[in-house]
Amino acid sequence: MSDETTGTGRADSVQPVGIERKGLFGAKGTGDTSGFGGLVQAAPTAGEIVSTPAPLGGYFDEIVDALRELLGEEAVRAVVVDRGELTIYIAPDRTAEVCKAMRDDEGLRFELCDSVSGVDYPDQRNRLHVVYHLTSMTYRRRVRLETAVGLDHPVVQSVAEVYPTADWQEREAYDMFGVVFEGHPHLTRILMPDDWEGHPQRKDYPLGGISVEYKDGAHIPPPDERRAYK
């Protein structure tokens, strides 16, 4: 797969690059006697996804097949079924096109975008992920779309024109993670002051020692101690 390949960060799909996991949950020194503590999992290559083989089950195959028929095989980069949920990985420059097909096709009819959120996986090449949860009220179905970009070009196509509910949610992902949503009607910060430097929900953002300011004069004083991601 290309550099734009995305991943979920879950234990059975994508894991931190170059890190060998030991134990069922990566814990050490727990005195585990179940045998699961002896599990050793090899480190994957950058951007690797373990796609779920077809048939996916239920209505999942119908959705994936419909997308590929509408937009071509390359529209779907990978598919993962995990814990009974479907995640479809798409290119960052085709999010609006995919969402429009998901909304308008009579066999899909995903009329509602429940949420747009950002995720930061600092050990991945394309560390900034954008996740879309869609709901079909017609067919009572749910699906998750996901894409990812690197810090060198953190640009994702806006879906605000397709789903107006994504407007402020994309602004929050821009504010907190620094993802630039191309085509957004007014991409400005929504929580932090307009002149704020940095993006507070990135994993390498300082966690303490500074006073956090919000709009309209609200602020949070610096904490004495905050957990560090080490």
Is 100 part of any domain?
Answer: yes
Is 118 part of any domain?
Answer: yes
Is 4 part of any domain?
Answer: no
> Which pLDDT tens digits describe the chain residue by residue (230 residues)?
344 444 443 333 444 444 455 555 555 555 555 655 666 655 444 456 788 998 999 999 999 999 999 999 888 999 999 999 999 999 999 999 999 999 999 999 999 999 999 999 998 999 999 999 999 999 999 999 999 999 999 999 999 999 999 999 999 999 999 999 999 999 999 999 999 999 999 998 876 656 666 777 777 666 654 555 55
Is 85 part of any domain?
Answer: yes
Is 7 part of any domain?
Answer: no
What is the domain-level CATH number for residue 157? 3.30.460.80
Is 108 part of any domain?
Answer: yes
Domain of 208 in residue numbering reads as 21-220
Is 5 part of any domain?
Answer: no
State the total domains in the chain. 1
State whether the Cα torsion 70-76-81-87 is positive or negative: negative
Is 229 part of any domain?
Answer: no
